[in-house]
Amino acid sequence: MSTQRGWAELSDVMERLLRLRTVPVAVSLLDSTESIPQEAGRPPEPLTVTQLVTLCQQEDRAIAATVENMACVQGSAALGLEELPSDLKSGERAVGFYAETAEVAAKIFADNVYIEQGKFSAVIFSPLPKTPIEPNLVLVFGNSAQMMRLAYGIRWKKGDRVICDTNGSQGTCSEAIAATYVYDVPRLALPCYGARRYGLRPDDEMIMGIPADRVEEIVCGLESSHACGATYPIKRYGLISPLKSEYDRRIRR
pLDDT tens-digit readout, 130-151: 999 999 999 999 999 999 999 9
- pLDDT of 2 > 70? The answer is no
Does the pLDDT of residue 253 top 80, yes or no? Answer: no
Q: Would you give the DSSP letter of residue 235?
A: P
Query: What is the identity of the amino acid at 188?
Result: L
Give tens-digit pLDDT for 43-71.
Answer: 999 999 999 999 999 999 999 999 999 99
